[in-house]
A and B are shown apart, each in its own frame.
Chain A
Amino acid sequence: MNDEKQRVMKVFRELLEDPQNRLVDQAAGSGRIPVGYSCSFVPEPLLMADRLFPVRLHATGVAGTEIADNYLSSLVCSYTRSLLEFAMDERYDRIRGFVFVPSCAHMQRLIDNLDYLKRPGFRHVIDVPRKRCDFTLKWQEEELHMLADKLSSHFGVDTSDAALMKAIDEWNHFSGAVRAIGELRKRRSPPITGVEFHHVVMASLASPKDLILPYVEELHRKIRHEEGAGNFRARLMLVGGHLHDPDFIRIIESQGGLVVADRFCTGSILGLMPVQVDGDPFRALAEHTFEKTLCPRMMEDFDRRLKAIMDTVKEYKVDGVVLEIIKFCDLWGVDSMPLVNELRKEGIPVLKLEREYRLGGEGQLRTRVQAFIESMGR
């Protein structure tokens, strides 16, 4: 059984090696349209309407950001720099459209620099408000309508309510399948490690959902009755911004900490929740966007962010929280100050790690994780 699991896992690992993986090629080859996006505030179901399919932009395996540094400077978050570097290296050349959100200053300037250096044929910016109330919800709904109209007129695709409802159903089915695997991590001895699960999530986000779904379901079937991912000293939860490279989790787990919960931009908790439609699908997507994304850019959401972490800690029986922040990210950097204080007040051990987008400083990371687990008396 373990061999069968490893065979499926190999598929996910391979799909993550290239931002335009073979499933993207396969779908594009059959006349479908890949649309790249870089932020969780972009509602994926809208990019799944008709022939469209969403590809979460990543730069896993980026070797350096020399060209991007010239433009974005080395003091900007390395995620945006890595995306720009990959774009300059033609690593997204088969992506036919880009949808961005000016979620932070870094992302905003990435859009500006891409426009200047390599303006895509189709690019759209969703102006997502930084707080949620009646009038911002209405605004967000209008923003999504504007995006739908633009997609429709540029690519000639159907973005009607009916097409959107179909896409939402497809999304809910897909996210349900990934979540089902994630749920297994609540077990005392989960059948899947954190690094394996992250491979599944990242590969899924970067692939056409319908084409990757069989692999996700197959993996679920193979492991749902299995026990034990190994002997681990502590159950950990990862919290933070963008984390794409599963090797970061591999290093944490190499020190005896099993990552059982992920509350970060490309994680499954809240990120892969289903869209609840009660009437207008655009309205539902607008609400869903605010609901599933727990980013510190949302100015009035701190309590909800904190509660989501606390609830997850209880639900997944987490021993400690690892807060991972990409260096120079002001949103997470500043927000971590009250967040760490509040979590510690609740008696939850927290390790705050500053890191770069690509994996580096492995030795240091190992030492810090090891010391953290020891400090918990594990």
Chain B
Amino acid sequence: MKNMRSYLKSLSVKLPDAAKRLWHGSLPEYLISSADLGAALIYMKYWALNCLTIGKYMIEMNLRLGPAGSIRTLIRNPWLFTLLKVNGLMRRYGRGRTGLYLESVCMAVNSVVTGNIDMLRQMFHHPERMVINEDLVPVDIIHAMGLDAYLLEGMGIMLPIVDPESATKYIDVAENEGMNPDACSLPKTTVGMVIKGHLPKGIAMVSSNLPCDAGAASYTFIERAYGIPTYRLDVPYDFTNERAENLFMEDVSAMIAWLEERTPGRMDWDRFREICENRNRILELELELWDMIRLRPAPLASEAVWLSHLWNVNVTPDYKESVRHFEKIVTLARRNIETGTPATVNERYRTVVWNPPFLNFSDIFNWAERTYGLTVINDSMTYHHHTPINTSTPETMLRGWCRTVMQGPMVRHTRGPAENYLDDIFRMVRQFDLDMVWVANHVGCKGGQAMNGILREKCREKGIPLLVLDYDLSDPRIVSHDNMKRQVEHFMDNVMKAKRIDQ
């Protein structure tokens, strides 16, 4: 009774805040505070589209798994409820934005919703042919083999983006099991979800030595927890030569043979060709987009660039929808250029975000835009050196695909000499006419931390202002959102001598 009373009391204390959050994330609040009618209509359109996509899937899930099966799935995977808050995320991203820029951002969120729904289908509907892939092993080959796949770290990435606090309980579970608290919070979240049994098992797993020690090492635990066979790809340290390419190709070929032996999947090279062609088309469109955002002020920026890449290139590179998404984004950027409409009306500063974007506070970019006219043009997770995959033979396709993996973000920058890391930053500064560099100084990313000293001195030599923004990828308890904002404010006030535009 006493417990019940204290529970009700704590609930009543939390209630006003919860109601405030609910109101701030709601459609009516957006409509009231909307910049103009056009913005309200765009937001409503994507709000409805997201609801429709989710609603349709809930019906499909009921039909496929039956009502009892659906309820069981929801109970076993409670994080699904967090994903329902996606419109709140779109609301945060959309704040203060208008026109085609707002549309591109909403479109990026909608592409994530659509892609996520398809991932859920693969997670829950065909367990007998479902393979787990680690986040830097693209799904292309698994899909070309006719298998289903889901990204084990996918939810560890998505959950804190949608709800900043949602990964913390999993982080606590992993630490309580004995995982070192200073490890990256993404593998900690993933391990926590595995321990809680909140992610389905599948029949096999493909992981790698990427992107970091904690991520790679966590698969020893996960493999034992799931008791399923695991193949581990090994990207060499110095990967920019033919010898390394050959080694990795041999490894990937062995992985295909391994999967054929242990799963019902069979390699279909024609299907793989289609997937590679899809990738090539996305690459073409993305490079066109990058060319356009070089303009000052940029026609599109921020989520339209990084979120589009994060999901459509890293998670669903083989989807026709991903090509369509980039086609639409490029069209919107072109239209903004033609009409002379900048993404940010007051674009005063341009920056790159180096290292993974702030998962638990990704709307900091929106805040920076509204506060200082500071636009995030591109980020290290998006920036790559990909070249089109030659689709003439299986051998050329495999080589091209391997090269794409090895040159991918977080592979290129965590391997090889420091030049791989540093040169890309300074190349981006030139390519995108940037005014500063932001380093997303994730406390768990030791490889990145250890480059800050050199980077600081190199930036000083070149006269490039550098903000090293301390944070934790998925855990807002380590560095609060207010603290992160203060770091930006101090940098903008003291180094950039910038005037706020929101006052």
Contact = CB atoms under 8 A, between A and B. Distances in A.
Interface in B141-195: 177-180, 182-184, 187, 191
Contacts of B453: 70-73, 113
Interface string A59-91: 000000000001111011100100000000000
A329 to B, nearest CB: 8
Interface stretch (B72-80, B122-130, B198-206, B232-240): B232-240
Given A130-B216, A135-B247, A338-B224, A109 B447 contact: yes
A300 B219 CA distance: 10
Nearest to B235: A130
B221 A338 contact: yes
A299 B451 contact: no
Nearest to A80: B450
Contacts of B177: 337
B92 interface: no
A80 B213 CA distance: 15
A102 interface: yes
Nearest to B449: A73
Contacts, number: 140
Given A116-B454, A299-B216, A352 B178 contact: yes
B212 interface: yes
B179 A334 contact: yes
User: For the complex, would chain B's binding face be called helix, strand, loop or mixed by DSSP majority?
Assistant: helix
A109 B238 contact: no
B434 to A, nearest CB: 23
Given A72-B450, A75-B446, 14 more contacts: A70-B453, A73-B450, A104-B213, A105-B212, A109-B450, A112-B450, A115-B418, A127-B244, A130-B234, A299-B219, A302-B220, A302-B224, A330-B180, A352-B178
Nearest to B208: A299
A303 B441 CA distance: 35
B450 A296 contact: no
A336 interface: yes
A112 B184 CA distance: 21
A218 to B, nearest CB: 41
A80 B449 CA distance: 13
Interface residues of B, number: 44
Contacts of B414: 105
Contacts of B191: 337
A336 B247 CA distance: 30
A136 B178 contact: no
B270 interface: no
Nearest to B453: A71
B355 interface: no
A333 B418 contact: no
Nearest to A105: B447
Given A127-B237, A296-B217, A334 B454 contact: no
A325 B179 CA distance: 12
A131 to B, nearest CB: 5
B418 A116 contact: yes
Nearest to A299: B232
B213 A331 contact: yes
B443 interface: yes
B172 to A, nearest CB: 14
A330 B450 contact: no
A139 interface: yes
B310 to A, nearest CB: 22
Contacts of B213: 104-105, 297, 330-331, 334
A135 B250 contact: yes
A341 B178 contact: yes
A107 B443 CA distance: 18
B217 A330 contact: yes
A130 B207 CA distance: 12
Given A108-B237, A299-B216, A139 B446 contact: no
Nearest to B218: A334
